[in-house]
A and B are shown apart, each in its own frame.
Chain A
Amino acid sequence: MPYLPNTDADRAAMLKAIGVRSAEDLFHDVPAALRFPKLQLPPALSEPEALSELRAISEYNVDLDHAACFLGAGAYHHFVPSVVGHVLSRSEFYTAYTPYQPEISQGTLQCTFEYQSMICALTGMDVANASHYDGATAMAEAVVMALGVARGKRHNVVLSAGVHPEYRAVVRTYTQGMGLNVTGDDQPRDAHALAALIDAETAGVIVQTPDFFGYLADPDELRALSDAAHAAGALFVVSANPISLGLFKPPAEYGADIVCGEGQALGGGLNFGGPYLGYFACKQVHVHKMAGRIVGQTIDRNGERGFVLTLSAREQHIRREKASSNICSNEALMALAAAVYLTALGKQGLRQVAELCYHKAHYAAEQLSGLPGFQVLDQRPFFQEFPLRCPRPVAEINDYLLDEWGIIGGYDLGREDPRWANTMLVCVTELNTKDQIDDLVEALGALPDHDAETEDAA
């Protein structure tokens, strides 16, 4: 049996020391009629067999090493420097548990402290926690925290329609037992419409930038929205793409109380949607209402600097039913990936990545807007994604792009909302070369019209 070091002789000696005849006897508390069911599982594989089975399964996929990709919509194809994988492969990091015993966990603790520092640097906030499951659950926890800051006295949140539809769904799932009213996401995506919804019952106002459609919000408009939230005694929550923060104003500058978001772009890879990283930062004044692990600096008995998990009186293992959240296991290793990524890129590199995404996306938008039948919808500033109105359903176009050109096209905005039918959310990152963009333009320019295809099929 793999991974089981004890031999039959070891087992016999141990049974003797315990004073039972067989290992089966150790299970006498299990109802006899239900004991030892035969599990119907496929026969065990040796290591080489497992490797080849899993490799074969992975090869049923079309992966992005073999197709240019213009998909984003909350999961982004960015370059992951080799150092990230190498640091994460240190088994001192990945085979450790949560650092409850700080004397032998200074590696994880200091890395987390540095991660918290870098998240504060990116967002402009005072404190950050050591992670949530992903950007969606980080936002849901921000909503729960806003309710906590309001001490249960407010029951509304205003949620922008510019927030990722799956994040909005998760906010609703999380809060279904909390008696919360969510408004705003059936309104136009502008700050004035949202501000009009704020009242004395509002615990939080939640926006995303760049929004789900790729547009950057005007910092002055966000400041006005933030002021409106604060005037009503509500928190202002901003979900921000962390790569965009390499170039654009940190949300602290326009009044955010909580900044959260998806950290997958920070060295996380795509991984078919997980594990990702929910980053979360807030103002110092709210730190006792924040969920999750927090690492703090302290000293040991010799006065040497060291790090510990701190402010744990917020957490489930201490406060139980009164905790700020139930979160226990989080995405610590992904936070380490983000710390290594932000260290590798640093002050100049992160800005460079953000600029590359910006320029390439704008080049793509410019080229695509010249194609007959296609339209880039809006002239507002955007970061690395933009909606492209297409002459045919996006699903059909994407089939054509993959079959004829080996290109994975953009996200079909019509799949969540019929008002966005025939609209593709095109995402361009630093990994999309000019050649790939030119190929996409050429491919869409050569898109056969619908009738021709139907005739062909007939």
Chain B
Amino acid sequence: MKEPLIYDISSPGRMGANLPACDVPRAPLPKAYLRQELPLPEISEVDLVRHFVRLSQLNYGVDKGFYPLGSCTMKYNPKVNEDVARLPGFVNTHPYQDAGTVQGNLMLMHGLQEFLQEISGFAAVSLQPAAGAHGEFTGVLMMRAYHQSRGDPKRTRMLIPDSAHGTNPASTTMAGYETVKIASDARGNVDLADLEAHCDDGVAGLMLTNPNTLGLFDEHVQQIARLVHACGGLLYGDGANLNAILGIVKPAALGFDVMHFNLHKTFSTPHGGGGPGSGPVGCSATLAPFLPGPIVTEELVEVEHDHEGECDHEHDENEEAYRYSLEAPTSSIGRMKAFYGNFGILVRAYTYIRTLGAEGLRQASQDAVLNANYLLARLKGVYPLPYDRTCMHEFVLSGVLPNAPGVHTMDIAKRLMDFGYHPPTVYFPLTVPEAIMIEPTETESKQTLDAFADAMLQIAQEAKTQPELLHGAPHATPVSRLDEVQAARQPVLQCLKG
């Protein structure tokens, strides 16, 4: 099953590309600037294709099977979205073309800004951030800029619930804030007493994921918003779990001031083995001036009709048309990246929203929640459930099985691979021991869920009767369990000969 490294199949003199000849006179090269060696591989086109196709076959993807990776929303990626993102009219446009020559791109971006505003209830959206964590960092910088604009720089602390994604505290540190951990209560909500105890005039805000990483909709979200606002703080929304609430509730209505969207989760753009994603940020009218720019604006303008060769006199009048431009908000935190955002991803998300419409989006969220609750109902008698509540789009079990000492969540996860599944997210959130976080998404059928539940139940049985099957798993994969300790202790991070 082992595929040689690309350098091992390299042979001097081969090349896998066919370039044009030089059709201009050659200019002298500055000798002292030139490199001597260029240790890149030399491969023919056919060997290149076979190498990468064989490697692709060692991967698991949503197109191969069920991928219940909690918190990641691994829903099916519609193929039409891939086709439209590859239209030459989009792909072959340069970011510095004059706005008049890229009105299609700008119109699409403006449309997506408006869709996201409508879905979330926010007043404004910037499409610039390239990923969820990038959006979080953007949002935290906006909160900081807001406080500074009010002459209130003593707010240096960001409150973060203990169940939050690691990106929340990491983004907070990058913005120069101190992180303060807020406890969860016995029902998996933010502990209101603990929150209240930490709310004072040194607080910049609270970063809240709702539904949270336990898959639970916080029962006191409006009280949380009131507490944070009452002490002068802002409420940040981690939009990682937006897939549960499209058309169910608008985050802005719950009291959030600023939130990022993960287009690569909620709006079905593919994850690409780790990216590219897209993490637009939406916010209230108060925070809108701080958004990173440029964002797309629309204006209705009169255009002179071109009369040449026209016989139709009814159209002689001037007409109105929309003109789209790029503008930086007045008090912008600045650019978060070069250019305007991951445009190719925006095209896919726009198309997804256009093909589902309002009803389709709500049905998607409803089915995502239904699928999760169904799987939960099938598994909860066997796997310990730390918070026995109606879940949203995902839920968290524990891998601590009765009568199976020595079996860990990692063993259950690896054993699932033998049944042809990608394992759930494991050991997160940190508040649940041996956590197993399952997010089925709405694009899976009842049959798929039943087959997965059967596998989980069988594995729970094996854990008691044949634990060695789990400890040795996976058995049917291209490689067996890998030595991560050796990888970290004796790092081999590239294959060039020294």
Contact = CB atoms under 8 A, between A and B. Distances in A.
Interface in B315-342: 333-342
B40 A41 contact: no
A176 B60 contact: no
Contacts of A355: 22, 26, 29
A274 B272 contact: no
A333 B167 contact: no
A216 interface: yes
B466 to A, nearest CB: 18
Contacts, number: 697
A108 interface: yes
B248 A30 contact: yes
Contacts of B130: 133-134, 137, 274-275, 331
Interface stretch (B96-104, B281-289, B304-312, B401-409): B96-104
Given A95-B63, A103-B478, A346 B15 contact: yes
A92 B56 contact: yes
A458 interface: no
Contact of B94 (A40, A75, A319, A334): A75
A286 to B, nearest CB: 12
B344 interface: yes
Contacts of A94: 61, 77, 82, 270-273
A90 to B, nearest CB: 4
B40 A118 contact: yes
A52 to B, nearest CB: 10
Contacts of A359: 22, 24-27
Contacts of A346: 10, 14-17, 40-43
Interface string B8-52: 001000111111101111110110111100111111010011011
B336 to A, nearest CB: 6
Contact of A300 (B15, B373, B480, B494): B480
B215 to A, nearest CB: 11
Given A57-B104, A103-B474, A5 B48 contact: no
Given A106-B55, A329-B131, A23 B366 contact: yes
B464 interface: no
B68 to A, nearest CB: 11
Contacts of B69: 97
A336 B273 contact: yes
Contact of A2 (B107, B174, B356): B356
A170 B336 contact: yes
Given A51-B84, A117-B496, A310-B484, A345 B55 contact: no
Contact of B137 (A26, A172, A220, A326): A326
Contacts of B350: 54
B479 A99 contact: no
B144 A177 contact: yes
B355 A2 contact: yes
Contact of B274 (A20, A216, A329): A329
B457 interface: no
Contacts of A370: none
Interface string B254-292: 100000000010001011111111010000000000001
Contacts of B458: none
A282 B94 CA distance: 30
Contacts of A343: 6, 16, 40-41, 43, 48, 51
Nearest to B87: A58
Interface stretch (B191-199, B228-236, B438-446): B438-446
A81 B41 CA distance: 16
Contacts of A118: 40-41
Contact of A92 (B59, B87, B353, B493): B59
Contacts of B34: 247-249
A338 B221 CA distance: 44
B446 A10 contact: yes
A285 interface: no
A349 B24 CA distance: 18
A96 interface: yes
Contact of B341 (A99, A120, A273): A273
B173 A323 contact: yes
Q: How many residues of B sit at the interface, in one of the four size bands?
A: 35 or more
B273 A332 contact: yes
Nearest to B372: A26
A53 interface: yes
A279 interface: no
A27 interface: yes
A325 B174 contact: yes
A178 B176 contact: yes
B59 A106 contact: yes
7 contacts: A28-B390, A29-B219, A47-B355, A63-B88, A136-B337, A166-B338, A363-B25
Interface string A296-340: 111111101111101111011111111101111111111010011
Interface in B336-376: 336-345, 347, 350-351, 353-364, 366-367, 369-371, 373-374, 376
B196 to A, nearest CB: 20
Interface residues of A, number: 208
Contacts of A110: 3, 5, 55, 58
Contacts of B442: 3-4, 6
A272 B340 contact: yes
B64 A92 contact: yes
Given A110-B3, A273-B95, A296-B487, A170 B78 contact: no
Given A4-B363, A262-B338, 11 more contacts: A29-B389, A45-B354, A117-B7, A273-B95, A274-B130, A326-B171, A329-B275, A340-B52, A343-B40, A344-B45, A430-B19
Contacts of B492: 296-298
Contact of A296 (B29, B94, B493): B493
Given A31-B222, A57-B108, A296-B488, A308 B482 contact: yes
Contacts of A174: 137, 174
A19 interface: yes
Given A57-B104, A297-B492, A177 B479 contact: no
Contacts of B43: 343-344, 346
Given A105-B59, A270-B95, A358 B16 contact: no
Given A274-B340, A381-B30, A344 B17 contact: yes
A9 to B, nearest CB: 9
A208 interface: no
Contact of A128 (B366, B417, B494): B494
Nearest to B376: A18
Contacts of A371: none
A161 interface: no
Contacts of A107: 55-59
B495 interface: yes
Contact of A95 (B105, B270, B342): B270
A51 B97 CA distance: 25
B93 interface: yes
B133 A328 contact: yes
A43 B361 CA distance: 12
Contacts of A11: 367, 370
Among B61, B105, B389, B446, residue most surrounded by chain A Cβ atoms (within 10 Å): B61
Contact of A93 (B35, B221, B273): B273
A246 B341 CA distance: 28
Contact of B338 (A79, A91, A135): A135
A15 B446 CA distance: 11
Contacts of A137: 130, 134, 336-337
B422 A101 contact: yes
A19 B26 CA distance: 78
A273 B347 contact: no
Contacts of A179: 176
Contact of B20 (A39, A89, A331, A356): A356
A299 B483 contact: yes
B494 A130 contact: no
Contact of B141 (A99, A128, A173, A334): A173
Contacts of B172: 321
Given A61-B89, A330-B131, A18 B377 contact: yes
